[in-house]
Amino acid sequence: RHGTRCAEVPATANNSHCTVGIAFNAKIGGVRMLDGDVTDMVEAKSLSLNPQHIHIYSASWGPDDDGKTVDGPASLARQAF
């Protein structure tokens, strides 16, 4: 469900699916990064892959949430942004 919602963001008008995205001229793609340990370096490489083609970033992979801890990107991922 989450992936479908993310794909709706760049949806074009008059697409026969009853939706138009808020960024309908944007292009989307996916970067596989969850097939192993998600380290700061993995995040940084994923976030810096082909930045000239990226319009929207979605950090849907985490962090772990225990209701008390707020985590964010580490130093390499912050530099990639």
Each residue's pLDDT tens digit in the chain (81 positions)?
555 556 566 666 666 766 666 676 777 677 777 788 888 999 899 888 888 887 777 666 666 667 787 777 889 989 988
Triad 23, 70, 22: Cα angle to 5° = 10
Surface-to-core class of residue 36, CB atoms within 10 Å of its CB (0-12 exposed, 13-18 middle, 19+ buried): exposed
SS3 content of the chain, % helix, strand, coil (to 5): 30, 0, 70
The confidence score (pLDDT) of residue 41 equals 93
pTM of the shown model: 0.59
**CB-based contact 26:10 (threshold 8 Å):** yes
